With several copies, the nearest count.
Chain A
Amino acid sequence: MNAESNFTKKDFTPSGEVKWCAGCGDFGILSQTIKVLSETGKSPEEFAFISGIGCSSRFPYYVDTYGFHTIHGRALAIATGTKIANPDLSVWVAMGDGDGLAIGGNHFLHAVRRNVDMVCILMDNQIYGLTKGQFSPTSFRGQKTKTAPLGTMEDPIDPVALTMGLNGTFVARTSDRNPKHMHEVITRAYKHKGFSLVHVLQNCPIFNDGAFEKESNKETRADATLMLKQGEKMLFGKESEKCIVSTGFSPKVALVADVDEKDILVHDEHQAGLGHFLAQIQGENFPKPLGVFIEREAPTIDQEYVTQNNSVIEKKGRGTIKSLLEAGDTWTVG
């Protein structure tokens, strides 16, 4: 993105070995992230990678920037402090579906709401990997895991729909098996000023292999995914023979042949209403939309703090210990 970046992927790759299982989807996410970093033109020191606990949360050890591998579920709260304290850092958070949406759910809610300027990469394998295979908030109803031997009894969270419900300012989804697309989406997320959610469909070959096979497999993905492209019709299928139309307030899949061309929806990232509409594209009857659902401008809390403080300092001048203590109602003895 920055034509004359002086850095290469090597500059962002630490020496230590990456300890994910062979075939783990996290590898692909890592390499695309490092590619994007190397293209920003920023030096490695200008980035802070923060994570909680989980396989995915090992991320910070695998990028040669400043990194903080914290505790389960708290990455966003910690990153919020980091970013508000030092808005000059480019802050990135890597989280798993359990880390970010189970124990970390509350911090997710409020980081989105505050529009803290950071990139949040949610590596969603619909399972707890590090603890060896329990269900997560994104596991599908009925999924059999060690803690749900007869299948789970709850509906999953759709991270995109949730973030839309919180009026997120940048919401996107991509897949570990589609490097080009991932690279494009992560680049967009980096460029967005505000909280950028990148929901990545990630395969865990060990504990939940094939969870996203439909969406990833070259054979099937044309039918199982919907690639959102700004200004373009929402077509999918091998021959782009299928499309999304609206039935008033809900989306519907149709055959291009069967519908009036102008009824086929056209994607517009900047139309909040459409984003909310697309967030309903969940579940078996729909292709999974990949791409940027929405991007909009809004104040970020980190900059708001700078603005408020500066306005006061301009008015009153920078405080000193003397001005601090010798204030209010004072009196002198002797």
Chain B
Amino acid sequence: MNEPLKIQELDKVVIRFSGDSGDGMQLTGNQFTGASAHRGNDVVTLPDFPAEIRATPGTIPGISGFQMQFGDHAVNTPGDFPDVLVAMNPAALRANIKDVKKDGFVITDSDTFTEAMIKKAGYADDVDPLDAENVLHKQVIAAPITSQTIETLKDFDIDKKSKARCKNFFTLGILFWLYDISPAFTIQWLKGKFAKKPMLADMNIKVLNEGMLFAQNSGHFQSQYRVQPADLKPGMYRSVTGNEACGLGLVAASNLAGLDLFLGSYPITPATTVLEEVAKYKDHNVKAVQMEDEIAGVCSAIGAAWAGYFACTNTSGPGIALKGEALGLAVITEIPLVVINVQRGGPSTGLPTKTEQSDLMQAMYGRNGESPMPVLAAKTPADCFHMTIEASRIALKYMTPVILLTDGYLGNGSEPFLIPDEKDLPVLKVTQRTDPKGYQSYARDPETLAREWVKPGTPGLANRVGGLEKDITGAISHDPENHDEMVRLRAKKVQNIENDIADLEVLQSPHGDDILIIGWGSTYGSIRNSVDKYQKEGKGVSQAHFSHIFPFPKNTGDVLKKYKKIVVAEMNLGQLAPLLRATYLTETIPLTKIQGSPFTEKEISDVIDTLI
């Protein structure tokens, strides 16, 4: 055994795991994420699932990817370009090599570089993918991972195929050693997971250790690296994806409101996992119902909300298009309803596995008639929890359907979630009327303008509501003036919410008010990193990120006035921009990208640099 190597400190590292769907890259990535999170790093991850249908193993369409960034500070994004690429076969190499940083590590399984596999990956016949010029300026570690794994397990009485399946732990071992991370977390996890099949646990643990030894002894690495813990807010953490966070937020909100949760839904990528998450919590008397389609999903939720329960529906863009008519019913009957749209690439089926922010206008206007609904947006995976509760607060307090926009990037991505204490969560006080005296269906609370919620079954309050225009008593009214008044009242009720939400925050540059970069939703992290960079460089670049889009925070107009140039960065052709322009008549500079992923720091600076 050779000398222990010196350990270099790094402030952040980006690793991309890539291989066939069968190679367990999501699991490997999650294990590395868990281990580094446990050691105190800030970690942000993003899986990259193969598009729509699973393709032939060994081909590029069959590749499943997972990228993560961990650092000694808030990293905000899974990173743009990997420092390390784990490529479990030639296709994975070919698909990702161009992204790897100069002198970055490329860890591959040399056993997979057979002629057949190389061909499948789409390389020309005569090229050697690992040949120097094809991996220029990269440090390639071509390890015989499969054979080593099988060799390591020779004493186990089980078929080769099952042995080979452990190979991803060999890779994990290499990375644990390389970044000086203890395998304890993963070993414990394995023991738990295979409690009933201890042999499988032993096999994987053995391979894991073998991987670490290999890294240490193979001489591939000149040094080890270490990323110090970040100084995260003290407290208890867990890692959540945005969709898990939405699910947890709904169940938490139901507890806070003291109302059982009803989720009426229908599967659709990338929103399905919200339903799958919520469906777990039967111990909270949650009723998560998979209906026959999106229309039935929202309608069943409306039926539950009318019945006096805390109701929600979740979907993605095409589903929102289908729900539009029913949402109008929730608007005119003024029923509390949380609607979560995990956006994906459109139009139509579009790019279902890629992220996009192109449903904002649909959220604002995708219904017939004057049909105002508050629109909110979450900016990070963990923020999905808090914004779900905020959406619930508004829905229940103002008796209105509310749309919360997230997207595939948030829904599938993960980050450490500081578990809040119940007492630090907002109180969602809900009062359902029980006093029959003088009840009128559309009488309103003078402050919130909300009408009262009556739970069917309550004695003495039997009443009828519906989609036809009503007067204050709840009677159908065809009176033109009444309609005019009701339309304006519904609009006013929603607009008034501006008095009950947080101001728009600015990450203000101490170096002047030249540029304000405005964003909303999942672009937060990448904009944030760019703005940090500019501010460090002494530039007058500030950031404002919208969590409430309709109504806008009250101070929005004043904020906009302050800056020489307003840049609006969106993953669409410009949807927030026209809302700001129409409302505040302010000039805006578009920074748009519709490529299924948030901005890289470079894509932002390419525009900003021309403006400074």
A80 CB within 8 Å of chain B? yes
User: Which of B286, B290, B461 is in CB contact (< 8 Å) with A135?
Assistant: B290
| Complex: A325 Cα to B277 Cα, angstroms | 13
| Complex: A285 Cα to B273 Cα, angstroms | 36
User: Which of B283, B307, B329, B461 is in CB contact (< 8 Å) with A85?
Assistant: B307
Contact A86 B325 (CB under 8 A): no
Contact A69 B468 (CB under 8 A): yes
User: Which of B54, B311, B325, B329 is in CB contact (< 8 Å) with A81?
Assistant: B311
Contact B252 A67 (CB under 8 A): no
Chain A residues within an 8 Å CB radius of B301: 81
User: Which of A19, A81, A132 is in CB contact (< 8 Å) with B303?
Assistant: A81
A76-120 interface (Cβ within 8 A of B): 77-86, 88-89, 102-103, 105-107, 109-110
Query: Smallest Cβ distance from A56 to chain B, in angstroms?
Result: 10
| Complex: A77 Cα to B425 Cα, angstroms | 33
| Complex: A84 Cα to B288 Cα, angstroms | 10
| Complex: A88 Cα to B304 Cα, angstroms | 13
Contact A19 B55 (CB under 8 A): yes
Chain A residues within an 8 Å CB radius of B425: 321
User: Which of B236, B299, B461, B475 is in CB contact (< 8 Å) with A331?
Assistant: B236
Instruction: Name which of B94-102, B129-137, B254-262 contacts chain A.
Output: B254-262
B296 CB within 8 Å of chain A? yes
Closest to B348 in A: A71
A333 CB within 8 Å of chain B? yes
Q: Is the interface of B mostly helix, strand, loop or mixed?
A: mixed
| Complex: A78 Cα to B327 Cα, angstroms | 12
Among B54, B309, B420, which residue has the most Cβ atoms of chain A within 10 A? B54
| Complex: A44 Cα to B272 Cα, angstroms | 38
A72 and B318 in contact, given A147-B279, A321-B255 (Cβ under 8 angstroms)? yes
A257 CB within 8 Å of chain B? no
Contact A58 B457 (CB under 8 A): no
A312 and B235 in contact, given A73-B293, A81-B304 (Cβ under 8 angstroms)? no
B104 CB within 8 Å of chain A? no
Chain B residues within an 8 Å CB radius of A137: 292
User: Which of A103, A148, A312, A327 is in CB contact (< 8 Å) with B292?
Assistant: A103
Contact B255 A324 (CB under 8 A): yes
B302 CB within 8 Å of chain A? yes
A149 and B267 in contact, given A80-B303, A85-B304, A86-B457 (Cβ under 8 angstroms)? no
B41-73 interface (Cβ within 8 A of A): 52-57, 61
Contact B456 A19 (CB under 8 A): no
Query: Smallest Cβ distance from B255 to chain A, in angstroms?
Result: 5
Chain B residues within an 8 Å CB radius of A74: 295-296, 299, 326
Closest to B306 in A: A68
B284 CB within 8 Å of chain A? yes
Contact B236 A147 (CB under 8 A): no
Contact B238 A329 (CB under 8 A): yes
Closest to B251 in A: A324
Query: Smallest Cβ distance from B150 to chain A, in angstroms?
Result: 22
Query: Smallest Cβ distance from B440 to chain A, in angstroms?
Result: 15
Contact string, B234-251, partner A, CB cutoff 8 A, digits 1/0? 111111000000001001
Contact A43 B459 (CB under 8 A): yes
Instruction: Name which of A45-53, A160-168, A245-253 contacts chain B.
Output: A45-53
Chain B residues within an 8 Å CB radius of A283: none
B551 CB within 8 Å of chain A? no
A1 CB within 8 Å of chain B? no
User: Which of A22, A68, A132, A322 is in CB contact (< 8 Å) with B464?
Assistant: A68
User: Which of A71, A107, A312, A326 is in CB contact (< 8 Å) with B282?
Assistant: A312
Chain A residues within an 8 Å CB radius of B299: 70, 74, 77-78, 80-81, 107
| Complex: A11 Cα to B310 Cα, angstroms | 30
User: Which of A20, A70, A86, A334 is in CB contact (< 8 Å) with B456?
Assistant: A86
Chain B residues within an 8 Å CB radius of A65: 462
B182 CB within 8 Å of chain A? no
Among A82, A102, A105, which residue has the most Cβ atoms of chain B within 10 A? A82
Contact B264 A81 (CB under 8 A): yes
A53 and B236 in contact, given A43-B459, A131-B267, A149-B279 (Cβ under 8 angstroms)? no
Chain A residues within an 8 Å CB radius of B288: 147
Contact A21 B311 (CB under 8 A): no
Query: Smallest Cβ distance from B266 to chain A, in angstroms?
Result: 7
A291 CB within 8 Å of chain B? no
Q: 15 A-B residue contacts at CB 8 Å?
A: A20-B53, A60-B466, A67-B465, A68-B466, A71-B329, A80-B299, A81-B301, A107-B299, A110-B296, A130-B52, A130-B269, A305-B289, A318-B285, A324-B284, A330-B238
In the complex, the 3 A-B pairs of residues with the closest C-beta atoms, listed nearest first: A334-B234, A69-B466, A81-B303
Q: A48-B307, A324-B248 are in contact. List 18 more A-B contacts (CB 8 A).
A: A19-B54, A68-B466, A70-B302, A70-B467, A77-B291, A81-B262, A85-B260, A110-B292, A132-B272, A149-B279, A321-B422, A325-B252, A326-B236, A326-B238, A329-B238, A330-B236, A331-B38, A332-B235
